Amino acid sequence: AEDEYFADGISDEIRSRLAAVRKLGVISRSSAFQYKDTDKTNRQIGAELGVDYLIDGTIRWDKRGGGAGRVRITPELIRISDDMSLWSQPYNRVLEDIFEVQSDIAGQVIKQLKITLLEPERQAIDVKPTENSDAYHAYLRGLDYAGRPDSSKEDLSFAVQMFKRAVSIDPDFAIAYAELSMVQSLIHHLGYDRTEVRAAKAKSAVERALELQPDLPETHLSLGYYHYYCYREYGRALEALAIAEKGLPNDARILLGVGAIRRRQGRLAEALDNMKRASVLSPIDANLAHNIAQNYSMLRRYPDAERWCDRSISMAPNQVVAYERKALIHWLWHGNVEKGRIVLEEKPRINTPRSIFYWFQQELFERNYQAALDRLASTPGESLEYQFWFIPKSQLAGLVYRLMGESERSREAYETARILLEEEIEKRAEDHRVRSSLGIVYAGLGRKEDAIREGKRGVELFPVSRDALIGPYRVEDLAFIYTLVGDYDAALDRLEYLLSIPSETMSVPMLRLDPRWDPLRDHPRYKELLRRHGFDPDSKPQATELLRAKPPDEPTDSGG
């Protein structure tokens, strides 16, 4: 088990060489690796993936005798239609020869399939990324941790360590620099470290990769994600991804990246198209399925969103994000806290900030206020942070105490949060998440003008026009600020706007469910808003009621 990263890495290196050939359609790593320990037949696998050939085999690593030891690889090329073995050849080499073995295996497959290679494709097949086996091992370990489905802070931090080790051993290891940049950019994107220092590290690594190998497609892939993840420079990101696609015609990450950018731009039809094309290359990819579910959630096409969440969970039952999204879908779609709790109880018990926040919301929506406080108390650290939000636990406690009618304890909690957030503002004044949270805290403390100023600043820093996925969260925060300070018309202006645009943060069932909006319930505009959407404003939401899932003229996606 401790050497599984090595076998996975060797397998993926062979796959990557073949994926550089434009006349081949090669299934992605994440989908292919679902079959490592399968008992399915070759024909079953071929049918599920839509492929005509499989490469199967074994890797044995003998570490005896000092040094890195010897590697025995036995590949086999199998034709699906008649289950015939077209080619097989054992390779028994010292580890230092591993790149020649990978290239020869890919070359033999190309020969058997009678494909004529272009010169750039031949170069991609014969590539030797490093001369140092220790650097290569560190690189493979980095790939292993960087590719884990939940992208936890701990996994990504370890991946950074491994890539740094690889380039410290071999300063000319270009693709390791590219992968290092990719992980640094992802850490920034997910909100684990939203500082300029982190963005500069991503930039430095990709610039070094470009300096070493300006034509390496993986470098342009990382450059594209750097522009997207760190600065939302969509045009420059798309240009880099287009260059990468020329050398990586079978890389689902490019289509996913283009789809994710189109989603941020609010071009959801194009986003879906790109992600579904990516799913052809990566049909058993839990992260990709989850992303497609997110698109449908923004469109309020909740049956489709739920189906893609279920697909994601079936592909990777040990993840957490698809379970959390499925719970969110039940809240948005039906206002159904019973189903939300069932889903959250099914997910693996991983105590991440994101998971705690979902559980906190579940308790809040059920109005189990003490249970919500207990969830916060069980969480290490002072804040919950993700790409969508930066929220001190004391801020959430202030909300709960306010809902419980304990005004003094609420004020104490908000004051604690204020101190923390004002310190954070000194370090990252342009962080929209911190600005919005500070506005909420000021509102909780009765500082109306300060609250509205900070809430508006959060919206200005990250408007919907810049990011159609996260921008609505800042608008919702501003609506909550207006609610806290008693400006209900301004709050309803924002809520009506959110209901008029694609958004995964707001729906009428969610509006009825969330106790934060209780002060609005007797307002005539609130009641009229509910009537327009087909709800009785005088009835209380029931957990089991089924509400309209989508506009009647919007077709359900039956393609899966």
Please give the pLDDT value at position 67.
Answer: 55
Q: Say how far apart CA 230 and CA 81 lie, in whole Å.
A: 46
Per-residue pLDDT tens digits for 294-335: 999 999 999 999 999 999 999 889 889 999 999 999 999 999
Q: Span 238-248, mean pLDDT?
A: 95
Tell me: pLDDT of 66 over 60.
Answer: no
**pLDDT tens-place string over residues 475-500:** 999 999 999 999 999 999 999 999 99
pLDDT band at 541 (very low <50, low <70, confident <90, very high): low
Contacts of 510 (CB under 8 A, 6+ apart): 331, 332, 335
Q: List own/partner pairs for 38-41 with CB under 8 A and 24 or more apart.
A: 41/83
- Mean pLDDT, the chain, whole residue set: 90
How far out from the chain centre does Cα 179 lie? Answer: 17
Q: Is the pLDDT of residue 273 over 90?
A: yes
Phi and psi at residue 384, to the nearest 5°? -110, 125
Contacts of residue 458, Cβ cutoff 8 Å, sequence gap at least 6 = 432, 433, 435, 436, 439, 474, 477, 478
Say whether pLDDT at 542 is over 80.
no
Using alpha carbons, list the distances in angstroms from residue 126 to 91, 210, 258, 443. Answer: 17, 20, 29, 62
- Phi/psi at 447 (5° precision): -90, 80
- Cβ(464)–Cβ(472) under 8 Å? yes
pLDDT at 547: 36
The predicted-structure confidence for 244-258, as pLDDT tens digits, reads as follows 999 998 889 999 999
> Kind and range of the H or E element at 333?
helix 321-334
Alpha helices in 50-118 (DSSP H): 98-112
Q: Does residue 183 register a pLDDT over 60? A: yes
The residues pairing with 346 across neighbouring beta strands, listed in sequence order, are none
Q: Mean of the pLDDT values across residues 341-355? A: 89
Q: What is the reported pTM? A: 0.83
Instruction: Tell me the mean pLDDT in the region 95-124.
Output: 84
**Distance of alpha carbon 374 from alpha carbon 46, whole angstroms:** 49
Please give the pLDDT value at position 375: 93
Instruction: Give 145-162 pLDDT, tens digit per residue.
Output: 998 767 888 999 999 999
Give the model's pLDDT for residue 278: 93
pLDDT at residue 543, as a whole number: 44
48 vs 177 pLDDT, higher one: 177
Confidence at residue 85, expressed as pLDDT on a 0 to 100 scale: 92
Confidence at residue 34, expressed as pLDDT on a 0 to 100 scale: 82
pLDDT band at 223 (very low <50, low <70, confident <90, very high): very high
What pLDDT shows up at residue 11? 87
By the 8 A CB rule, do 222 and 185 touch? Answer: yes
For residue 63, the model assigns a pLDDT of: 74
Q: Distances from the Cα of 321 to the Cαs of 128, 154, 375, 413, 453, in angstroms?
A: 36, 16, 18, 29, 33
96 pLDDT band, cuts 50/70/90, is confident
pLDDT tens track for 409-460: 999 999 999 999 999 999 989 999 999 999 999 999 999 999 999 999 999 9
Q: What is the pLDDT of residue 126?
A: 80
pLDDT tens digit string along 358-412? 999 999 999 999 999 999 998 888 999 888 999 999 999 999 999 999 999 999 9
Comparing 263 with 73, the larger pLDDT belongs to 263
Per-residue pLDDT band for 29 (boundaries 50, 70, 90) equals: confident
Residues 354 and 386 sit within 8 Å (Cβ to Cβ): yes
| CA-closest candidate to residue 205, choices 189, 187, 222, 191 | 222
Greater pLDDT, 96 or 358 = 358
Q: Which is higher by pLDDT, 244 or 9?
A: 244
| Separation CA 20–CA 18 (nearest Å) | 5
Largest CA distance in the chain: 82
